[in-house]
Chain A
């Protein structure tokens, strides 16, 4: 076991990890941050997306020890301290961009990374970017709509309701 120290959501955090411990397991089991979800074992589903030093990564593809000293952001750190949702979270709620909620943390973290690089993405750019995030509930309609709305675009004309 190795002691791993990192900054998570702006606070210093440390815990024990084996060499094989994935960052996703470390966050969930060692730090108790269970908002990061694990939906597959082939790095396909994206439920575990977090930001490491400002870059979106699937935390199931990274070892905890590789994140030594890194700045990690997870879904738990996205809302304001008083619980106010951030723009992307609020857009997901406003546009019913989630149902069961399991893929949602990864979707929100991926959306944040997309909008950082591309503040006004087209529909196709959103869909292409979400290639690595699976959702089984929404048919993606309201997720794409929510992300476009979060970018400040008018989504009122998008296919009926």
Chain B
């Protein structure tokens, strides 16, 4: 019987009431008295030198308050990068300056040159068109490999080249890996592209800066996944505002998917200008602006090689990747192709020797950073594609080859520096075979053939690593941040609780699922627990929501704080019942004395804490409020197996997803309904990457796919119903809830399943096709069919 409350139940989401009635409070819904509006004049050239800017005519336009250029930001800090990579020679990465408004040069189409603040948004836009700007065009650096050639134009004149870093991992493994390849019975090589994507949360970014001259306090309302991170980065590194004079509020946020993690120049501008002008300043991104300013994702070009012995055991793996950084280093960009990618290259397999090389490259394109999965989809795609190719070369069943090489004993230390605590990869594969009805594939293939369609089956596994930690380790790896999470639990006098979390909900349903945990711990109704998030003024310092970390890290902090609450409440209860503290039990919202019929209700204890008349004041303080910071001992490692069946139209090359199944192991589950939704959404984005989406630049650095007319977002009629299952559960061993995280799995696990299926279909037609790069557009698939 499914539970109807607490951990494991699926109560209806409480946030839905406001979202379904149009009463949510998104950043663009916020309008402050007397606010002005900013419009950014952006470069339409990928690479150019600013030879002159004349704002005099524009400044005289109706409604213009002030026009800012790079000159106004001399002496102001630049946008910081939060992760420093040390390369294979022991050198730190090249890290260019990243000004709020361009200084001297523009480096991508979309780079902000000037900011016009006016009484209305329309007046600001009109005036921006009247700015007289001269740009001297410079050669655009677009292709990553060409960017590293001797004599290439440089994105940053003060760097030695366009190479950000050349990372080797694990460098000491390299000779042994080479030797294993020399001895291999079979080597499979695959060259592939992980296509550049744009996250496209449906809510475009918005920033509203405000300043209170009476107190000297600045406030920023912004579309962020992590308001505390923005406060620290912007306050300490850009504007020089200490945290106690700066408040950052991320109210309802309409999706993030990674691209709302980062600190953006527009946030700093609005906060800066509000103080300079002593009035609120608002920026609302248009979708067209979002395409050329939101950090992009993926964009890796890789060669991967898998070595096998004569019994088809994996003996070694090596990869060589070029990763695009774009024109500047976005907040966490350097970590994505390195620590979030190299550490995942073992996947679900006991390959003993692995070497990963990554060259990160500056180009005249929008900065690239984390997008749902961030490094882990890139690792999974390469690995699961090369295994599929190896199986076909060797003439063995791709599932059997995977099973033969599965890791089966835990904990398992990989050769790429991480230790998996738990997992059962045969169990998820067994479950997948069942829910996807793989036995029925042959009959479905025949049925498709009878209708003139070509059916293919693709299967793959994945490993994810969530809740990146612990802080002292990631510090050694170059993180300029801690990766703990926080929670303050405030119990009110009449027994209700407010939980203030440093994580942030922008679709994940924390306001519903977090109370399920607390309510179960205390034995009270979920309606007695309220979640507060998104405002630095009333939540403890926390790192926010990304990397599927909120429940595993933020939930753990909440559990720890609640444990402190319960411990103190037991002391109070012991006093009230004149019993020994050790004998107090908490069950169903009441404290009792073991072996007796004495009990006091939760509400009696909370009231005593705030009206401490009969209270051990000499031993404990009044009140009932506790904070915990939780720094995990390790990542968590969700895993799973996915299957996709496609149908190809042989006349057009169009690929349709006929069936899609996902068997995931997320450890313990708090809210199955929400978990299903997270997996559905991830799969939708993964299929989008595989079939439809691509951010395409031309040789001059113009983004060709810069609107929904050109960037193919998955629509309802592109996607099927998904078969999802998360009944395989190997709980995480090192967090109190035993949870692993589910936010990114779908986006990590699904692209290789789709491509494996299409290659299977093409080979079933007798085509000697071993790979087609994503997106698998009709033209690419049709071309492959002709081969």
A130 touches B717 (CB 8 A): yes
A108 to B713, CA, bound (A): 20
Q: On chain B, which size bracket covers the interface?
A: 35 or more
The A67-116 residues at the B interface (CB cut-off 8 A) are 74-76, 78-79, 83, 85, 89, 92-94, 96, 98-105, 108
A35 and B287 in contact (CB under 8 A), knowing A100-B203, A137-B255? no
A140 to chain B: closest residue by CB? B716
Question: What residues on B are CB-neighbors of A78 within 8 Å?
Answer: 20-22
Contact indicator per residue, chain B 200-227, by CB within 8 Å of chain A (1) or not (0): 1111100000000000000000000000
Q: Which of B21, B202, B682, B746 contacts A89 (CB 8 A)?
A: B21
The interface residues of chain A lying within 8 Å CB-to-CB of B680 are 138-142
Task: Tell me which of B29, B204, B719 contacts A39 (CB under 8 A).
Answer: B204
Chain B positions within 8 Å of A142 at CB level? 676-677, 680
Cβ-based interface call for A158 (8 A): yes
Closest chain B residue, CB of each to CB of A74: B22
From residue 468 to 520 of chain B, which have CB atoms closer than 8 A to chain A? 506-509
B288 partner residues in chain A, CB cutoff 8 A: 41-42
Q: List residues of chain A with CB within 8 A of the CB of B509.
A: 99
Determine whether A144 belongs to the interface, using a CB cutoff of 8 Å to chain B.
yes
B26: chain A residues at CB < 8 Å are 34, 37, 102
Q: Is B725 engaged at the interface, CB distance under 8 Å to the other chain? A: yes
B201 near A83 with CB under 8 A, answer no
Query: For residues 120 through 161 of chain A, which have their beta carbon under 8 Å from a beta carbon of chain B?
Result: 123-124, 126-128, 130-131, 133-145, 158-161
Cα A9 to Cα B709 in complex, Å, equals 32
Interface centre among A34, A45, A75, A92, by most chain B C-beta atoms within 10 angstroms, is A34
Cβ of B56 within 8 Å of any chain A Cβ, yes or no, is no
Q: Are A42 and B707 in contact (CB under 8 A)?
A: yes
Given contacts A93-B12, A159-B721, contact A34 B22 (CB under 8 A): yes
**Could you tell me if B203 and A39 are in contact, using CB atoms closer than 8 angstroms?**
yes
B257, A136: Cβ atoms under 8 Å? yes
Given A99-B681, A161-B672, verify A44-B20 contact (CB < 8 Å): no
| Interface: A59 (CB within 8 A) | no
Cβ A79 vs Cβ B21 within 8 A: yes
Answer yes or no: B415 CB below 8 A from chain A CBs: no
8 Å CB contact of B709 from A44, A75, A102, A124:
A44
* A123–B287 alpha-carbon span in the complex (Å): 30
Binding site for A on B (CB under 8 A): 12-13, 15-24, 26, 28-29, 31, 122, 199-204, 252-255, 257, 286-288, 435, 506-509, 672-674, 676-677, 680-685, 687, 707-709, 713-717, 719, 721-725, 746
8 new A-B contacts at CB < 8 Å, known A38-B204, A135-B202, A137-B507: A39-B202, A74-B22, A99-B677, A100-B19, A100-B203, A100-B252, A138-B681, A141-B680
Closest 6 CB pairs of A and B: A35-B22, A139-B684, A101-B19, A102-B254, A100-B507, A44-B708
Which residues of A are at the interface with B, using a C-beta cutoff of 8 A? 18, 20, 28-29, 33-42, 44-45, 47, 74-76, 78-79, 83, 85, 89, 92-94, 96, 98-105, 108, 123-124, 126-128, 130-131, 133-145, 158-161
